[in-house]
Structure 1
Amino acid sequence: MNTNSHIQSRHVSRVIDAAPDDVYDVLADPGNLPEWARGLASSEVRRDGADLLVDSPMGEVRVHFVPRNPYRIADHDVTLPSGTTVNNPLRVLAHPNGSEVVFTVRQIELTDDEFERDCAAVADDLERLSDMVERR
């Protein structure tokens, strides 16, 4: 565990050559999660009311996204198998080259090495999202 009394955060981003609304449409559709967000969803997404249940590399997690909105905010809470809930800010911003997706990774219940791996996994996920959107 990180023994620091503060929680470290890192913004991981990716510029995508597509309109922000097009990126948001793909990102905000839970059915697309297994295709691009492998760090979160390694199998089909199941619904449980307003929440999603997904098999992740950490075990089964519960995911709750904010409602779709015109601001292209896809923040979501992930409840880990330990019961800890992690808030994940996720935004699609306008960018001169199309869009920029920004994901804030927080070091909660992670060692420094695990945090680095988590940030790398998010970067890989955003690369897959970029490929998926740009193929459309």
Structure 2
Amino acid sequence: MIEESRHISVVIERPAADVYAFAREPENLVSWAAGLATGVRRDGDDLLTDSPMGEVRVRFAPDNPFGVLDHDVTLPDGTVVNNPLRVLTHPDGAEVLFTVRRLGASDADFDRDCAMVLADLERLRGLLA
């Protein structure tokens, strides 16, 4: 069975470099990534966050000039979920693109996850407007 992915994106009327810099700052996660973080602590190269699922470990791709904010999230049960997240140059500024993977979720859970990601990206847009 091939797992479905859905690409969720928003356009932000700011330069892609500005959006990338803001989004990759761990201290800013709590203001826009409600699905991930309600508190952030550093642990070496990783972040420990208090999420709706319990404490999770997050490791972002290294700082780069390509807008790649991919990150692995290690859930409390040890499952590692890779989350592709990109900040792309767009004619109107930047497009932030997050790929949500079904990973065996029911239709309702997958739709809920996609809606939560969209809400997070809308919050990010609101902060940078």
Query: What is the TM-score when the length of structure 1 is the normalising length?
Result: 0.91
Counterparts of residues 16-35 of structure 1 (less than 5 Å): 16-35=12-31
Distance 2:110 2:76 in 1: 17
Q: 1:50 aligns with which of 45, 48, 55?
A: 45
Give the number of aligned pairs: 129
What is aligned with 1:103? 98
Could you say what the CA RMSD is over the residues aligned between the two structures, in angstroms?
Answer: 1.0
Structure 2, unmatched stretches of 5+, are none
Distance 2:101 2:76 in 1: 17
Q: 2:114 aligns with which of 112, 116, 119?
A: 119
Query: 2:110 is paired with a residue of what secondary structure?
Result: helix
Q: 1:10 aligns with which of 3, 6, 10?
A: 6
Structure 1, unmatched stretches of 5+, are none
Q: 2:59 aligns with which of 61, 64, 80?
A: 64
Query: What is the TM-score when the length of structure 2 is the normalising length?
Result: 0.96
Distance 2:77 2:109 in 1: 16
Q: Percent identity?
A: 59
User: Which stretches of structure 1, 4 residues or more, deviate above 3 A after TM superposition?
Assistant: none
What is aligned with 2:81? 86
Query: 2:115 is paired with a residue of what secondary structure?
Result: helix
Query: 1:116 is paired with a residue of what secondary structure?
Result: helix
Distance 1:38 1:55 in 2: 10
* Alignment check: 8 A CA contact 1:79 1:86 kept: yes
